[in-house]
Amino acid sequence: MLVNRYVPTHLHQMLFELVKNSLRAVQERFMDDDNESPPIRVVVADGIEDVTIKVLQLSFYICL
């Protein structure tokens, strides 16, 4: 179970910006492609003392 130890508005702002930037990057990269843009995936991993958030786009990701 994920226990929220973070300020909710800060967490929301960080996640919003990460996802927004990821979507923009994918859209810009595949703008001229006739195929559908690939999805992004958000992975949240709960550790003992921390939470890791990964935003995956194709073969690369951003860790927060």
Helices (H), 1-64: 8-29
Domain extents in the chain: 8-63
Q: Say whether pTM exceeds 0.75.
A: no
pLDDT given at position 59: 45
Q: Model confidence at 4, in pLDDT bands (50, 70, 90)?
A: low
Q: Are 21 and 61 in contact (CB under 8 A)?
A: no
Q: What share of the chain is helix, strand, coil (3-state, %, to 5)?
A: 35, 30, 40
pLDDT 10s digits, 13-46:
988 998 898 888 888 877 777 777 778 888 888 8
pLDDT given at position 26: 82
Q: Which residues of 12-25 are buried (b: 16+ CB within 10 A; e: fewer)?
A: eeeeeebeeebeeb
